[in-house]
Structure 1
Amino acid sequence: MVVFRVVLALLAVLTCVTSAPRSAAPPQDISVLTPLGTAQGTLDADGANRFAVRYAGATRWQSSAVVTEWTLPNGASDPAALPLQCPQTSVDASTFAEDCLSMILYVPVDIAPGSNASTLVWIHGGSFDSGSATFPGLDGSNLAIATESIVAVIQYRLGALGLLPPDGSTNLAVQDAINALIFLGQVVPSFGGDSSKITLAGQSAGAGMIRSLLAAPSASSLFQSAILQSDPMDFGFTSLTTQALLQSTFNDLISCSPSDTACQMSLTLDDILSAQATLEDEALGLDPSVAIGEPLHPVLDHTLITTPLDSTAPFPKVSKPLLLTNVRNESAPTIYGVEFPGPGPFPAEDFELSSDALLGTARTEILMASPFYPVDPNGDSRVPLQVLGTDYIWRCPTWTFARNWVANGGTAHVGMFTVGATYPLNDGIDDCVAPGAVCHQDDIFIVFGTTPNPTPAQSALTTEMQARYKAFLASADPNEPGLDGWVPATTTDVHAKEFGVLTTVDGEVPVLACDPSFWGQAVQYDYQFFDL
């Protein structure tokens, strides 16, 4: 069985999640005067003022433009109404709309104009083809109150609508995110925010979007720092060659030429999403460099995104402070939930067969000869496969990125969650609900403070991480009195801190295969292997 070939569950299964229901808002409405008009909001059930707003508009497959007046999303008249999702597969069509460039602002009630508060902008994950500002756990009230900041949760165009315009232009979704930041820069002072104190944060593909913004010079002045959680950095950016192939195939599927705007506008959303689903199913067969589980993602177009921000080209000079985190069992949902479901154990030979199918013979031979992924002949091959997947897609490329970032002028703090809160899609995966497991997405509830019925360990970690984020938003340093020291990364030691249950004496994650002489050198990442 080929590991990761169907889909990275921890990335792509987000297409199966529906928007999270919210508690009914109290009847109390709030109004704030902004340069774009009067913002209408309501008191969120968790205690912050909540404002949903349409930040930009766009004609299908054209660049978006920032709005010039404050309007509620989707023509709503009720300030408590939440925005519809962007179009995506595997959800009810009644939950999405093409006019979806909206965000939700959460503002603590004690932040007033002149407060000069920080703003945290959350960018949701979902493999760039799913997700929304209303997905489970993303109510920003608790996070806003704990960090004494404005929290903005944004949406951006997904899948083919955001990344495959038939005329061959690129990165519309990234431009959407840039316009969200431009909009925020205009309005946050009205809510008590300081437009020069905007920090980006996101998980999975959301972190990948932030990496795209870090690689886009035109976005640099719009935010001061960033928090990247569980970014699948092994994927790199899509190359122009691969993008052209995907684009051509998609155009054939919709039967519209690049210049036939009338044909493109006549397509129904079902037509577009159906063609997108077919392309995503076939993408890896078209080009082996396509990111497994994330076939559509931002493109290194050398216009908007001008650098790969990886080890395939000279790293640019940088200055922004970053927080970079992973969870302990990033790949467990794929290994135990998709590729090898069931009670197991699975035979030892599955490790080499799966690795060979994923990485090729040459890279697999190096892995098999190394001490990092020992296979117990009488054990379960899923155990080393989960470690391999976590190292290969997430942990080790993140550590390589941290070293490069620090070497070129920036600062980075690296960490790993060893306590989490099971995200809904992981509920049915035995290994993800086992004691001590922290699977992909299990950091979301912790950071937002939205864990249902939290344990003392979960509550303690939420308190710690929100305190660290508060300090980072204010001073670019996640350390403050009363917290254990979080040592910044250097070019030789990333000092990856454990967050939760400590498994080592010094509270730092062992380097193991993330030694720079192994992953990234002896064994190439995909972005190196395919020269993306």
Structure 2
Amino acid sequence: MTEDIIRTSHGPVRGERTETGVRFLGIPYARPPIGPLRFAAPVPPEPWADVLDARVYGPTAQRRPFAEATTIPEPCVPGESTLNLNVFTPARAAGQTGLPVLVWIHGGGFVAGCSASPWYDGTAFNRDGVVLVSLGYRLGIEGFLHVEDSPDNRGVLDWIAALRWVRENIAAFGGDPDKVTVAGQSAGGGAVQTLLATPAAAGLFRAAISASGAVMRPQGPEFAATVSEFFTARTGVPATAEALQSLTDEEILALQDALNAPGPDRDALPMLVLAPFADGALIPEPVPEALIAGAAGQDIPLMIGCTTHEFNAVAEGEAGQALTDQIFRAPALALAESRASRDLPTWLYQFDWTATAPAFEGLAHHCADLPFVFDLLGAEGVDKALGEAPPQQLADAVHTAWVAFIRDLDPGAAWPSYSTERRETRIWNTESRTARDPLRSVRETWLGAAT
């Protein structure tokens, strides 16, 4: 492999050629969030003069995996400069410029996950003329706990800082700063919805994709204050940067465990308590209200959808499906319904292909769609998550629709935008199709709409 050097606004970076382009890994978009910056808004990185070696993934905010066994392989990379991003760009030898850009925000419940997963490799997107950027951000307590002496939603501020870096620098990598689509899955999908409702993110992207997106409910400032009080009551540690910023990573994680430990008092709170919330400033109002009843995101084309059995592997039988519908399918459908009623460009899908892997047999489970989206069926861990020989034709179809949406703001003629008259929904399976109102039972049960 040969090397490429590109000059960013903060200094030159050296990448490494792949089969379809060049990848630049671990580029800092903000200073390391340590010491006084640990709970502060992100600060632009110090400029550097020497060429930065960007051929290995940078440090991750994730200091331990979400669980002992995770569906997506997401490594923990030690180091302080966790506010970094990766750029996968098509081969510049072809003279391509002004390419569409996909900015990817990883999931992990806002407490785990990273951008260094082999499932997020941009090779296939590069092959098809798309620049891919994946970013890391502060997680858990450091990213989302309301602390009295620091800005709220520090993880959201990180996303915005990364998007501003993209706007300023992506042209040097062959991308068009006016053709940015922001996308993510699970917590990353919730991040996308949050950014749609955040005025400071306006103008930083032109389209959005929320895959299996989850947002905290309720999410007003009163609830954030309740979580902080609960944190202090459970841990004995004040929810302040002064009390927290000098603690070790292990001590922070121990406090996080204490916050989420089972108990009747914890059961009274939602599943997500360390997540973006409406602080009244950066995020003026709760995201669901802003997107469904308000004017947020009206000028942004949106692709949104879920897998059929998101959390059915977590809770079996009817309970699992109810959890899937409550957290994922019904909120996505409510947003599609609202946007369609206002003629806002929206495309709804359901990923219906079921895995054959023993742990997920017969389920279109949480994360099952990602290897198809990225067209990486041979990536590490895919066989354990999906089973042997997942259908390449489905990866071709899903990935092609994403590329078309990122490039043209439309996934193609076979998938019309969602309307309240026909409720067109793309069903992704071995033989994919567009169905009319396939989620009617979900709509009638959860949204109270029988029409």
> Under a length normalisation based on structure 2, what TM-score does the superposition of the two structures give?
0.86
1:85 aligns with 2:60: yes
Secondary structure at 2:225 match in 1: helix
Match of 2:304 in 1: 324
Structure 1: how far apart are the matches of 2:20 and 2:252? Answer: 40
Q: What are structure 1's unaligned runs of at least 5 residues?
A: 1-25, 337-381, 524-532
2:420 pairs with one of 458, 466, 491: 491
Structure 2: how far apart are the matches of 1:65 and 1:334? Answer: 39
The structure-2 alpha-carbon separation of the partners of 1:237 and 1:473, relative to structure 1 and needing over 3 Å to count, comes to farther
The structural deviation recorded for 1:256 is 4.7
- For these two proteins, the number of residue pairs brought into alignment is 428
1:267 aligns with 2:247: yes
1:377-388 matched pairs, under 5 angstroms: 382=317, 384-388=318-322
Cα RMSD for the two superposed structures: 3.0
- Deviation string 1:483-528 (CA, Å, 9 cap, x unpaired) is xx11211235431111123598x6456233223x5313489xxxxx
2:409 pairs with one of 473, 476, 481: 476
Match of 1:444 in 2: 370
The structure-2 alpha-carbon separation of the partners of 1:508 and 1:419, relative to structure 1 and needing over 3 Å to count, comes to farther
The structural deviation recorded for 1:283 is 8.1
- Greater RCO, CA 8 A, separation 6+: 1
Match of 2:71 in 1: none
1:126-205 matched pairs, under 5 angstroms: 126-146=108-128, 148-164=129-145, 166-167=147-148, 169-205=151-187
The structure-2 alpha-carbon separation of the partners of 1:497 and 1:185, relative to structure 1 and needing over 3 Å to count, comes to same
Structure 2: how far apart are the matches of 1:283 and 1:62? Answer: 32
**Paired amino acid for 2:400:** A
**Paired amino acid for 2:373:** V
2:277 and 2:286 in contact (8 A); partners too: no
Match of 1:389 in 2: 323
The structure-2 alpha-carbon separation of the partners of 1:283 and 1:205, relative to structure 1 and needing over 3 Å to count, comes to farther
Secondary structure at 1:496 match in 2: strand
1:291 pairs with one of 260, 270, 278: 270
Q: What are structure 2's unaligned runs of at least 5 residues?
A: 69-74
The structural deviation recorded for 1:257 is 4.0
The structure-2 alpha-carbon separation of the partners of 1:244 and 1:97, relative to structure 1 and needing over 3 Å to count, comes to farther
2:77 pairs with one of 75, 89, 95: 95
2:58 and 2:77 in contact (8 A); partners too: no
The structure-2 alpha-carbon separation of the partners of 1:97 and 1:163, relative to structure 1 and needing over 3 Å to count, comes to farther
**Paired amino acid for 2:440:** L
Match of 1:29 in 2: 3
Larger Rg: 1
Secondary structure at 2:377 match in 1: coil
1:214 pairs with one of 181, 184, 196: 196
Secondary structure at 1:152 match in 2: strand
The structural deviation recorded for 1:455 is 7.0
1:111 and 1:117 in contact (8 A); partners too: no
Structure 2: how far apart are the matches of 1:447 and 1:167? Answer: 40
Structure 1: how far apart are the matches of 2:236 and 2:97? Answer: 54
Secondary structure at 1:127 match in 2: coil
The structure-2 alpha-carbon separation of the partners of 1:111 and 1:175, relative to structure 1 and needing over 3 Å to count, comes to farther
The structural deviation recorded for 1:136 is 4.3
**Paired amino acid for 2:365:** C
Pick which of 489-498 and 398-407 moved more.
489-498
1:327-346 matched pairs, under 5 angstroms: 327-336=307-316
The structure-2 alpha-carbon separation of the partners of 1:397 and 1:258, relative to structure 1 and needing over 3 Å to count, comes to closer
**Paired amino acid for 2:10:** L
Secondary structure at 2:261 match in 1: helix
**Paired amino acid for 1:61:** F
Secondary structure at 1:36 match in 2: coil
**Paired amino acid for 2:295:** P
Match of 1:406 in 2: 340
- Deviation string 1:433-452 (CA, Å, 9 cap, x unpaired) is 33xx3111001111111112
2:301 and 2:345 in contact (8 A); partners too: yes
Match of 1:104 in 2: 86
> Under a length normalisation based on structure 1, what TM-score does the superposition of the two structures give?
0.73
The structure-2 alpha-carbon separation of the partners of 1:283 and 1:154, relative to structure 1 and needing over 3 Å to count, comes to farther
Secondary structure at 2:447 match in 1: coil
Match of 1:56 in 2: 30
Structure 1: how far apart are the matches of 2:196 and 2:422? Answer: 23
Secondary structure at 2:399 match in 1: helix
**Paired amino acid for 1:476:** L
Structure 1: how far apart are the matches of 2:252 and 2:83? Answer: 18
- Deviation string 1:21-67 (CA, Å, 9 cap, x unpaired) is xxxxx4x22111333321211123x5321101111123111111233
Pick which of 134-143 and 163-172 moved more.
163-172
Secondary structure at 1:335 match in 2: coil
Secondary structure at 2:6 match in 1: strand
